[in-house]
Structure 1
Amino acid sequence: MRVHITSLYGMMGVVGVSQRRTAEIGRQLGFNELGIFRYPVESDTDAELSKRYDGISAGIGSGDIVIYQGPTFNGTKFDDYFITNLRWRYGQSVKVIIFVEDIVPMMYQGNEYLFPQVIDMYNKAHALIVASENMKEYLIEKGVVNPKIYVQNLWDLPEKVDTSITPKFMKRISFTGNDGKFGIMDAFPESDVALEVYGSDKREDVPQNINFNPFISDEHVLLNKLREGGFGLVWAENEHVRNYMHYCNSYKVSTYLRAGIPVIAHKSISCAKLLEKNHWGILADTLEEAVDIIDNMSDEEYQKYIESVEKVGFLLENGYFTKKVLNEAIYGLYVDD
């Protein structure tokens, strides 16, 4: 018996990176990788598509376990057919775990009509791995009946940081990425607390305490820059994006925690309980509230956050969130607690 895990290629950005890193952690556990390429799937005939599936799944045998990382962004039809084909070909002899890393009908407005297909696909699996308890509850409300659902909580980030750099208390908040879909700069208050933005185009119509920095593509360099101190911002003023962040796992959370600095996030974020219970950051209803907390924070208070964050950095570096949930899901296929 072997355990297989899919991995997405041909896709840039966080989606591709996160899937390949998850597959790498799987390989550390002895899993076999099944590579899936993102391509214009609509160009394939049914016969061509069938051959493509046969190539991907050629190494799967009776009694094996397949962990399918989804979506592949090849379309719901592609993902559903892969799962359906496995169940048709092997019946119950092959166990299927779907690692739900994003949900397209929730990500993009106008795609809600895909929900019935997605829920039907999830119900064909023997187990699901989902981002958060919030997502687990929501999927059950939408019709998921699978009793085996396991929660990921955070993305791992197996990147080294320069431990000779000690994060210092600064009235500085860092935000990585393009602000276009988040709408933070238009809502950030003018104050003594600076917002350092890495990646968005410079704007002149913002408060003077917002500073623009070039995008840093080298993750190691970015982490060490963030590690200088202050806080990391995971936020959205856009209502649709904020709502999705209530369910999904944001890679930004893990980026800041791996850098060794506390997180600032909205109280509705999916990992809110984890951040609060472990003293990994500040939860607020508004950016004004978050800025006010920092403005009145002491160095001693900040150092307590740093001590707490340092502990989770070890887990993120060594892939323990992913290892834990993968092992739980496989264990649960055969043991009822």
Structure 2
Amino acid sequence: MSVHITKTYNIGGLIGLRQNAVRNAAETLGYKEMSLFKFPDQYDTDAELHVRMDGIISALCPNDVVIFQHPSGESPRYDNFLFDHIRMYAETKIIAFVQEIASQRENSEYTLENEIELLNRADMFIFASETVRDYYMKNGLIEKPFIIQTVADYMTDILVTEHTQEKIYILAESNSENYSNVPINIDVIPYDEYHATEIILKISDGGMGLIWDFDEQALGIYMAAGIPVIVKKGLPCEKYVVDNKIGIVVEDYNEVYKISVSATKDSIKPYYDSVKKIQKLFTNGIYTKKLLLDALIMVREKL
């Protein structure tokens, strides 16, 4: 039995960076990459796309497990062709690792109906959060074995422990996102899978990382960079942040502003110290490795 994990190339951004984080951890466990490539597949005939899929799954054997990272960045047609070809092998299991709601992405080729149709073809799920699972379940997803990803990490050889700056960072899909109406100076860092090392180094200069939406990958990047966080109340990572004393929970930007003008090195130091205790868990991908092993155990025990 082999375990395969999908990784889409030519995609970049948050999707690419997040897939890299999971793929990198998976490879240390001996899981095999199943490489996809983003291209305008509408120009391929069905026969041509079938040929591509034959190449993609060439290492697949009966009884193997495939972890499909969703969204893949591909079209619904491409993803369904991939599932068709995986299903040609007897007793092969598909674990759909659902990292965000694809149909809610700007310019997505997916509708919610497309997503539900594809995901219902999987045998098991890993969800990025309970919130993501609840949304799909309310919209027609079939009940199947699942695991919730409690923490997203990011493997890196970088380990910075000295921080001199006092900036507020936020990770975003692009640096053009507008924070001009926010009463603080925020350093917007665009997600970029091709420059993840540079992102971590820049953030590790020092300060605090802002987590303001349901993107859990931000926590992994901030922890890898070694800086504490400010998290909006109600987000899935709130409990982890509070339990591990690695940051501050706030209600709105006004509270962020108060922190930015009143925080001192002495007041922030305890958070830095707490981050330092768990930083290597993130830089070594320990949380993701455990998640992937738990998923493998579950798929073999329950299916």
Q: TM-score range by the shorter chain?
A: 0.7 to 0.9
**Which position in structure 1 is the counterpart of 2:299?**
333
Task: Give the direction of change, closer, same or farther, for the CA distance of 1:328–1:195 in structure 2 (3 Å limit).
Answer: same
Q: CA shift at 1:71, angstroms? A: 2.1
Matched position secondary structure for 1:180:
coil
Letter of the 1:144 partner, please give it.
L
Q: CA shift at 1:97, angstroms? A: 0.7
Which TM-score applies when normalising by structure 2?
Answer: 0.87
**Which position in structure 2 is the counterpart of 1:96?**
94
Work out whether residues 69 and 100 of structure 1, in 8 Å CA contact, stay in contact via their aligned partners in 2.
yes
Work out whether residues 102 and 108 of structure 2, in 8 Å CA contact, stay in contact via their aligned partners in 1.
no
1:29-55 deviations in whole A, cap 9, x for unaligned? 111221111111101001111111111
1:299-336 deviations in whole A, cap 9, x for unaligned? 44311111211133111111112111111111001225
Q: Could you tell which deviates more after superposition, 128-137 or 47-56?
A: 128-137
Q: CA shift at 1:152, angstroms? A: 2.1
Matched position secondary structure for 1:150:
strand
Question: What are the within-5 Å matches in structure 2 for residues 275-314 of structure 1?
Answer: 275-314=241-280
Work out whether residues 126 and 148 of structure 2, in 8 Å CA contact, stay in contact via their aligned partners in 1.
yes
Work out whether residues 261 and 306 of structure 1, in 8 Å CA contact, stay in contact via their aligned partners in 2.
yes
Task: Give the direction of change, closer, same or farther, for the CA distance of 1:73–1:220 in structure 2 (3 Å limit).
Answer: closer
Question: Does structure 1 residue 160 correspond to structure 2 residue 157?
Answer: yes
Work out whether residues 8 and 20 of structure 1, in 8 Å CA contact, stay in contact via their aligned partners in 2.
no
What CA RMSD, in Å, does the superposition of the two structures yield over aligned residues?
2.6
Q: CA shift at 1:298, angstroms? A: 4.9
Q: Which has the higher contact order (CA 8 A, sep 6+)?
A: 2
Q: CA shift at 1:222, angstroms? A: 4.1
Work out whether residues 126 and 146 of structure 1, in 8 Å CA contact, stay in contact via their aligned partners in 2.
no
Number of residue pairs aligned between Structure 1 and Structure 2: 299
Work out whether residues 17 and 196 of structure 2, in 8 Å CA contact, stay in contact via their aligned partners in 1.
no
Letter of the 2:95 partner, please give it.
I
- Separation of aligned partners in 2, 1:333 and 1:11: 29
Work out whether residues 35 and 56 of structure 1, in 8 Å CA contact, stay in contact via their aligned partners in 2.
yes
- Separation of aligned partners in 1, 2:43 and 2:236: 37
- Separation of aligned partners in 2, 1:285 and 1:184: 17
- Separation of aligned partners in 1, 2:75 and 2:258: 44
Question: Does structure 1 residue 149 correspond to structure 2 residue 149?
Answer: no
Which TM-score applies when normalising by structure 1?
Answer: 0.79
Task: Give the direction of change, closer, same or farther, for the CA distance of 1:107–1:168 in structure 2 (3 Å limit).
Answer: same
Task: Give the direction of change, closer, same or farther, for the CA distance of 1:313–1:301 in structure 2 (3 Å limit).
Answer: same
- Separation of aligned partners in 1, 2:245 and 2:219: 13
- Separation of aligned partners in 2, 1:331 and 1:229: 39
Question: What are the within-5 Å matches in structure 2 for residues 1-337 of structure 1?
Answer: 1-87=1-87, 89-91=88-90, 93-108=91-106, 114-163=111-160, 165-167=161-163, 170=166, 172-176=167-171, 178-181=174-177, 183-189=178-184, 194-197=185-188, 219-235=196-212, 245-246=213-214, 248-249=215-216, 251-336=217-302
Work out whether residues 231 and 261 of structure 1, in 8 Å CA contact, stay in contact via their aligned partners in 2.
yes
Q: CA shift at 1:98, angstroms? A: 1.1
Letter of the 1:23 partner, please give it.
R
Letter of the 2:147 partner, please give it.
Y
**Which position in structure 2 is the counterpart of 1:212?**
none
Give percent identity, aligned residues only.
28
- Separation of aligned partners in 2, 1:197 and 1:136: 29
Structure index of larger Rg: 1
